Amino acid sequence: MEEEKRELTLSSDATFMAHGKFGCTRSHISRTGENKNVAAHSLSFDKRADNSRGGGTVIRKAKSLSDQFLINIDGLINNVAGSYHQMDSNVKIGSSSKELRYSLSFTSPASLSRELSEVLKLPSPKCNEAGASDVSEEEESDSCKLTRMHMEPSLPIHLKFEDVKYKVPEKGERSPEEGKHILHGITGSVRPGEILALMGPSGGGKTTLLNILSGRTKFNGGSITYNDKPYTKSLKQRIGYVTQDDVVFPHLTVKETLTYVALLRLSKDLSIAQKKERVMNVLSELCLERCQDTAIGGKFIRGVSGGERKRVCIGTEILLNPSLLFLDEPTSGLDSTTASRIVQILQNIAKEGKTVVTTIHQPSSKLFNMFDKLILLGKGSTLYFGKASDAMMYFSSIGCSPLIAMNPAEFLIDLANGNMFDKSFPSELEDKFQCGIRRLNIKNDTPSPIDVHEFLVKAYEIRLAEREKAMLLEPVTIRGDQSGMMQGRPVVRDFGATWSQQFCILFMRGIRERRHEYFSCLRVTQVISIAIIVGLLWWNSDSSSLHDQAGLLFFLSVFWGFYPLFTAVFMFPQERAMLVKERSIDMYKLSAYFLAKNTSDVPMELLMPPVFMLIVYFMVGLKLQFSAFSVTVLTIFLSVLAAHGLGQTISAAFLDVKKATTLASIVVMTFMLTGGFFSQKVPRFMSWIRYLSFNYHTYRLLLKIQYGCVDSTSASGCSESHLVKNNSETKFGRELEVVAMIIMIFAYRLIAYLCLRRMEIRTN
Ligand SMILES: Nc1ncnc2c1ncn2[C@@H]1O[C@H](COP(=O)(O)OP(=O)(O)OP(=O)(O)O)[C@@H](O)[C@H]1O
């Protein structure tokens, strides 16, 4: 049959190499607009292949020369591979690489480095004019195009790490020698202007390595240097870290989020107007202008999209112009277009001379080619470190290639998982498999994952590890004026705002973040409904039914004790992640945060009691005097403040909602039972608890306000009741209760503050 050849122009980033029936020729095309020579590959293939897939075109877009780069490589590969399978069903999957009649690999020979070729003893690539990956033509989901960033120059940081080990103690093990090894000596480096991707299966150690490199976690062995100097605290300000979970306030808008970060973190030397201008620049650089006034959103409220939220998180870091940016799975959960937008942002950041390190799960082939360097981790060991574009060629050189069309990232993750299904494997592995001396994966007729892992680790150590270690010895040169920044100079905490400015900013942020909660319809309806029910239950009760009225007063002390207590219990656990993150980067002083939190939350706590009391007081027929009403409301205020303080203490002590609510319910019951209404004859050894109970003090105050029983000899009718008698046995007026409540208000808060300080020490 006469062979009809069709030429397809492929992106230089992903080259399809077919050996065997497919012929492969190369040509160069000049990229319009950027004068970049890009190695393109003209793939000729048998017409049967084309026919077998019904002649469907694999080129999705090719309107102009520049559009020729928009070929969907995955689609193309799938189509061609599909054709191949129909055409030739004799492929021996699982046979040794020598026997393979056909193998596929996706790499960029054009960009394959000469050094690697030499190390691997492969023929040197003829084309070395690889174009940098380019996604400028990516399909944008909105009209905004990501533009090049305009970041101020910062100290370029060359990060090197050699033989980094990490282990964690296992339960019951006391010796420091013992423990579970998480990282087994990882080596690598990344220069300013480069993106290093950490890839590997779940649990491979990516996040652990990222945390260690960013100075967040201490490691157990090896060395990490930043421009050939070890980590110092002064580096903290040069490092940005975007966590996997988006740590943001859901009720703040995008612009508010960035503005508060800018006000708190940007240098004191900048004016507020300049800080706001910086926010606007970041908003436009990250294409967030359109949603700048939308709430971020969270689990329970709708907000911006996942990709936008991730960009906000990146924005909060790049506002500070970091030299080193770490990102933990910035693309997880995002569709491919949004993910490539995020990676394009990372490329733009790297182009500004920053060093970018990111973990990534399973990028598309397009994304994969956007990374400069790659570390493939498997069970805490390095399976590959080098140029991302060389990875496929390296694995091909050790005998591991995909037998069917496969995204390179998918192939690499499969390898790291030890899954050799649909992949060729070298004779060493095959021997083990055939002789049956090692574990077999009977189901798939492939070597076992353990054998594959051992083989890959050994192959890396033999072929690449020594070379990479040798390269780390090359000294880094930095400009003289910047070298001082890396010395171990005494660290002066540089807060972006003064203490009073921090307080004001955090106060405003607290009000904006929590206003929805305090003014929510549900909360207002709840309080008003309870007020009306209480009013109806005690409707027009008079002092002749003293027991009833005492019950009402006790209920008031209980309700306005426990309601604010349970509100406060959620206070710090809810903000824990944010607090840890912001404190770890010295964004503000803890005292400023704590005071701002109290001053922003407490006034809102005091809004509802007067409304409640207005309804109840006149419905139930308590003393109809303005002074009595006012003092009753003030008493309730004291109760609210003391209970809120106790709630803060419990909240700060545990920083965990479950534990805090459990303890709070025990405390609530104890205080209620010792409050003086249910039990009057409490055994002496237990009676001291009542003095800690704000219920007890509030109840006594309310009784005194209503019945004037300042001492037991008072004959205003109240002495008839044993309830009141037992609660008015003191010689003092209301002073004792008031003083006790004021002490509680401050003491509980002081304990809460100290608990938060302790947390800070633990997380350091
Ligand atoms: N403090 C710790 N105590 C016990 N095990 C730990 C600790 N930190 C990490 N590990 C273990 O180390 C391994 C690597 O964890 P790590 O979070 O780094 O993986 P990962 O590659 O980032 O995974 P994923 O992609 O799922 O986030 C996991 O098996 C994890 O359970």
Residue 307 has pLDDT above 90, yes or no: no
Q: Is the CB of 168 under 6 A from ligand 1?
A: yes
Q: Is the CB of 207 under 6 A from ligand 1?
A: yes
* Tokens 């050939």 sit on residue: 228
Pocket test for ligand 1, best of 183, 206, 244 (most atoms within 8 A of CB): 206
Beta-carbon contacts of 701 under 8 Å, excluding residues fewer than 6 positions away, are: 635, 638, 734, 737, 738
CA distances to 33, 54, 352, 366, 369 from 13, rounded to whole Å, are 18, 27, 22, 8, 6
Q: Which residue has the higher pLDDT, 735 or 249?
A: 249
Q: Which atom of ligand 1 is nearest to the CA of 210?
A: 18
Beta-carbon contacts of 714 under 8 Å, excluding residues fewer than 6 positions away, are: 708, 728
Residue 323 has pLDDT above 70, yes or no: yes
Pick the range with the lowest mean pLDDT from 256-265, 494-503, 527-536: 494-503
Residue 328 has pLDDT above 70, yes or no: yes
Q: How far apart (Å, rounded) are the C-alpha atoms in residues 213 and 220?
A: 13
Pick the range with the lowest mean pLDDT from 18-27, 342-351, 532-541: 18-27
Q: How far apart (Å, rounded) are the C-alpha atoms in residues 457 and 299?
A: 41
Residue 142, Ramachandran bin (φ over 0: left; ψ between -120 and 50: alpha; else beta): beta
Confidence at 719, pLDDT banded by 50, 70, 90: very low
Confidence at 147, pLDDT banded by 50, 70, 90: low
CB 259 within 8 A of CB 303: no
User: What number is the average pLDDT over the span 241-260?
Assistant: 91
Q: Is the CB of 381 under 6 A from ligand 1?
A: no
Highest mean pLDDT among 174-188, 359-373, 493-507, 719-733: 359-373
**Predicted pLDDT of residue 101:** 35
CB atoms within 10 A of CB 309: 21
Distance 208 CA to ligand 1 centre (A): 6
Residue 111 has pLDDT above 50, yes or no: no
Q: Is the CB of 158 under 6 A from ligand 1?
A: no
Q: Which residue has the higher pLDDT, 722 or 628?
A: 628
SS3 742: helix
Q: How far apart (Å, rounded) are the C-alpha atoms in residues 687 and 696?
A: 11
Highest mean pLDDT among 333-347, 487-501, 624-638: 624-638
Domain positions in the chain are: 8-120, 542-580+608-763
CB atoms within 10 A of CB 360: 24
Residue 401 is inside which H or E element, if any? Answer: strand 401-402
**Predicted pLDDT of residue 462:** 83
Residue 576 has pLDDT above 60, yes or no: yes
**Predicted pLDDT of residue 761:** 52
CA distances to 504, 689, 690 from 694, rounded to whole Å, are 31, 10, 8
Tokens of 727: 């609660």
Helices (H) and strands (E) in the chain, counts: 27, 18
Residue 495 has pLDDT above 70, yes or no: no
**Predicted pLDDT of residue 106:** 41
**Using one digit for the tens of pLDDT, what is the confidence trace for 531-573?**
999 989 888 777 666 777 888 889 999 999 988 999 899 989 8
Q: Which residue CA neighbors atom 16 of ligand 1 most closely?
A: 205
**Predicted pLDDT of residue 724:** 52
* Tokens 């109809």 sit on residue: 624
**Predicted pLDDT of residue 592:** 94
Tokens of 577: 């992640």
Residue 164 is inside which H or E element, if any? Answer: strand 159-168
* Tokens 């706590």 sit on residue: 605
Average pLDDT, the chain: 74
Q: Which residue CA neighbors atom 25 of ligand 1 most closely?
A: 202
Q: What is the ipTM of this complex?
A: 0.96
**Predicted pLDDT of residue 331:** 86
SS3 267: coil
CB 359 within 8 A of CB 332: no
**Predicted pLDDT of residue 133:** 38
Pocket test for ligand 1, best of 164, 168, 182 (most atoms within 8 A of CB): 182
User: What number is the average pLDDT over the span 351-360?
Assistant: 91
**Predicted pLDDT of residue 359:** 93
Q: HEC states along 1-60? A: CCCCCCCEECCCCCEEEECCCCEEEEEEEEECCCCEEEEEEEEECCHHHHHHCCCCCCCC
**Predicted pLDDT of residue 372:** 92
Closest CA to 391 of 169, 590, 111, 714: 111
**Predicted pLDDT of residue 154:** 77
Pick the range with the lowest mean pLDDT from 287-296, 366-375, 538-547: 538-547
What residue spans of 89-205 are helical by DSSP H? 114-120
Residue 583 has pLDDT above 80, yes or no: yes
Torsion angles phi and psi, residue 390, rounded to 5: -95, -10
Confidence at 255, pLDDT banded by 50, 70, 90: very high
User: What number is the average pLDDT over the span 359-369?
Assistant: 86
**Predicted pLDDT of residue 591:** 94
How far the first Cα of the chain sits from its last, in Å, is 73
Q: Which residue has the higher pLDDT, 420 or 239?
A: 239
Q: Is the CB of 206 under 6 A from ligand 1?
A: yes
Confidence at 146, pLDDT banded by 50, 70, 90: low
Q: How far apart (Å, rounded) are the C-alpha atoms in residues 100 and 427?
A: 12
CB 464 within 8 A of CB 384: yes
Q: Is the CB of 200 under 6 A from ligand 1?
A: yes
Distance 335 CA to ligand 1 centre (A): 25
Q: How far apart (Å, rounded) are the C-alpha atoms in residues 572 and 649?
A: 10
Distance 524 CA to ligand 1 centre (A): 44
Confidence at 99, pLDDT banded by 50, 70, 90: very low
Distance 202 CA to ligand 1 centre (A): 8
User: What number is the average pLDDT over the span 133-158?
Assistant: 60
Distance 379 CA to ligand 1 centre (A): 10
Q: How far apart (Å, rounded) are the C-alpha atoms in residues 409 and 603?
A: 54
Q: How far apart (Å, rounded) are the C-alpha atoms in residues 525 and 532?
A: 10
SS3 271: coil
User: What number is the average pLDDT over the span 79-102?
Assistant: 38
CB 93 within 8 A of CB 422: yes
Dihedral (C-alpha) 524, 526, 530, 533: value to the nearest 10 degrees? 100
- Size of the chain in residues: 764
Pocket test for ligand 1, best of 165, 170, 207 (most atoms within 8 A of CB): 207
Q: Which residue has the higher pLDDT, 187 or 176?
A: 187
Q: Which residue has the higher pLDDT, 371 or 449?
A: 371
Confidence at 448, pLDDT banded by 50, 70, 90: confident
Angle at alpha carbon of residue 100, lines to 94 and 105, rounded to 5°: 90
Q: Which residue CA neighbors atom 20 of ligand 1 most closely?
A: 203
